[in-house]
Structures are given as C-alpha cells and as structure tokens.
Structure 1
C-alpha cells in the first residue's frame, strides 16, 4: 500500500538525478517498513566507527532480503549495483533502474559501464554497495563464491576505503529458490567490519585487497547455519492410519 500510494512521487523523483537523494530516502523508509512488517529482529554490529565517506561497501549475497537490509543498516545517500533483471520488474523496476546502477553480468560492455557509473557516483560523494560474488551464492551462508576484482580496482582508482559486510542468516529468511517465494522467520544479523584504506595502493594491489576482504567477510559467516530451508509441510497430506491388518498379517486365534 505505501508503494502504490507513493508511486507517482517515486516515479517523478527517479526521473531526474536531483531527485535521487529523496528517492533513496523513500526506499530506506520502505525497507524499514518491510522489515518491521515481518517482525524480524535485526542485530547490526559495527566493528569500528565510520568516518565521513564515501565508501565502497562489499557484501556477501545470499537472499532477496539483502538490499532492504543494507538500506536499513547503512546510513547516508547510497548507490547500489544490482542485476539488470531488477529493472524489468513491473512498476518498481523502472524506479530501481533510474535511481541505481544495473548490470548484465554476462555482458562485458554492461559490466564496464556499471563501473564507470559507480566511479562517477563515488566522485560525487555517494557511496556504492557491490555484491562482489556477482550473484547469490550457490551455498549461501556457508561458502562464498570467488570475489570479482572490479570493486577493489574501483576503490583503489578513486582512493576510497572498502567496508566489508557480512550477512550470515539472510538465506534463512528469504532464500533464492527457483520458482517459489519461500519465507521463514529468522533473526538476522549485519556485521559491518572496519573500513580498509586504499591510500597508496595501485591496481597491482587489487588481488591482495580482494583476498583480504573476502577473508574478512567469510570470518563472520556461521557455517552451521548454511543451507536453504526446506519447503513448508503445513499443507502436506498425512497418510491415514491403517485400520485393517495387511493381508499377510497373523491374526490372534487364526
């Protein structure tokens, strides 16, 4: 209902760059309402004070709830790189595509364009969130996929710090399950690690920075909580109890 009622305003704000800051503020309110509506407890852990940005926030990716949860946890005017299919969602997709950065992971041109847009965003003082795995992990909450070099090359080129983020339980609440929407009540956690400076680094240092950040993100995962929750069984038919003996049973006094 809040989305429908405010849609005309959102559409107008998303059409012009000057309105994107206000559009993001609306998206943050929407994210807070969404999380509160489900009654999900969220524990936000900040490992260190966060000086004035901008930053490149690098997070693991495990669930459809990742973006709303990051909008709740990270203050300020944010940009985010999301997959291009998000821009094709009816109504909401147009707003997302106008306000944030979309990328087709299978297109070299699209990936290059997204990095150029992200660099411009950082140079204007707007932090960027990047899922360095490139897509939702095949083993969410348990094992990270290899991080891409792009986020770290970007941070070094612009000279901004990298902030690793770990979300260890999102896949329990709303996992990526093909062909269905599966929701489970699950307390969530966001661990915002200390910023890592990129001052003095060159492009040659990007692989080492990538490995360092991936290790930090992985350190706050909970391997015991890995795996996708099973489908609901509340509608599963229960076989009736047997009321007659099978044909080969031995009956008393037979």
Structure 2
C-alpha cells in the first residue's frame, strides 16, 4: 500500500536564521579581522557595508566556509560550522562569488559553470538545465560557448555570478559583484537579487551605497570587525536626511553612523 505524503514532508526545510554568528572571531593571517561579531540574517537581500579593512571580505570567506573561525559560534542553515563538522551538506546549499575568482582560460562559459556545478555535487541529470538557466539569468546566453579568456571584465563578473547561483543556493554570498558592470547591467543585477532574495538569504558586500539602497531590504554596517549597525535601507537613508558628508541621504547616513561609532570607541 502506498502511503500518502503530507505537504509538511515535502516542504523545504526552513531555519529561524540562515546565518547566525555569536561573538565570531576570524583571523586574516595574523590580523584579527572579525572581532566578536554578533549577526543574524534570514531570507532577503542584505547589504554589507564598511570602509576598507573593516573585515567584510574576511567575514564573507568565513560564511563561505573558506576560513575557519578562531572563536565564537557560527551556524549556517542550522548547522554549526565552527567545529570539525562535515561541511559538505552546507556547502551544497551555498553560492559564493569572491572578489577574485580563478578559472581555466580555455573553458567556455558553459564549461566553467558546469564545472562549478559538479564541484557543488549537483545531480548530473540536472546540471545542463541548471547551467543554461544560470547563464540566461546573468545575460550571457549569447556568449555561453565563448571561451572565458575572450570575455570583458564585466562579462567575467557575470560568469562568476552564474556559477554562484547555478545550484539555487539557500545562502548566496557576493563580494563586490557589480565591479565592472555597466549601469544597465547593474539595474538587471539588482532585479536578479530581489528575485533570489524572495526565498533565499543573500549577502552582498559592496562599496556602492546606491546598490544597497536600490536592492537591499536590510543593511549591515561593520567596522574594525565589529557590528556597527543593522537596519533597513530606509532607516539608513533617514539617518542622513539632515545633511552631512555624502551625495545622497543613504551615503550621509552611512558616514554619520561610522562617525558616531568611532566616537564611542575612542571615548
């Protein structure tokens, strides 16, 4: 007799927080780049802001399980990743675009994304369709069979985004994804982020505050490896309504929060 399967059994697993860090400490070489960070992130598009040297890239690498935390607790999709746990299940559900990513120059775009899908242990039968969809979503369908070495800087960045989203990740980590994209491509990218963020946790590290204001539902500001502020893009803009340094309310709010935090630290 065939047993009926309930909707609850087939529904995707949900987590109170896709990312949860408590007192997180991560080293970049000998430097303490993330120092006692507390952070929780759920579904949606989260912008990660901070000055150069704030610890953004180190944090992204720790969330991508590239760097092992030196202290504190870090859980991804309900799994503790600070110990010696098997990370394969978590990594299959991650998408990651680092600032600088490597590739075989003679690979075509399709071959590159297929190879990354294989590394993510995607089922062989679904890879061709997933690769085609990822390439189309980043606007590279007409260059899918071009070799990577022939692409412009912006196209390479889009190929990098394609490999990050090919497995429909539950947590998507993008470090400076809009570098090299022209204004039209950045608009398309913002729309893609909003689409992915409907049912996934997306964290975007960037220096372009206008991208955060346009695409992100939530903003995380860090400095010296610590959380300075977390709130909505609208709340960040409100911090800059009364003037200050910056060309937009969002930029002025960003600058005001950093100044206030540094004043408290030095007091």
| Fold agreement, TM-score > 0.5 | no
TM-score using structure 1 length = 0.36
More strand by share: 2
